[in-house]
Amino acid sequence: MKYRVRLDMSFDKEEDARALLAHAHGMVGKAKNMNEGAVNEEVSFVDMEICRHDEGLPCIKVERTELKTGQEVT
């Protein structure tokens, strides 16, 4: 059994978003992937995007960190 947290939070200030992102990155060492190597593998990740839905525009992906690599991927 695992305990999963899913967040999708928008902020007015980039510094607030980056603070949450930094906290999530600090927790990566404790996170786990499930069913590694299997077809139903679930990889833990952290995404940051610039959300422009309030302007009627799509999001722009800024960065993605996956536990599988421990590095940013695009």
Q: Report residue 13: phi and psi, to 5°.
A: -110, 135
> Is 64 strand, coil or helix?
strand
CA distance to 10, 20, 48, 59, per residue, from 51 (Å): 8, 16, 9, 4
Whole-model pTM: value is 0.77
What mean pLDDT do residues 16-38 have? 92
pLDDT class for 66, splitting at 50, 70, 90?
confident
In this prediction, residue 29 carries a pLDDT of: 85
Q: How does pLDDT run across 13-22, given as a tens digit for each residue?
A: 999 999 999 9
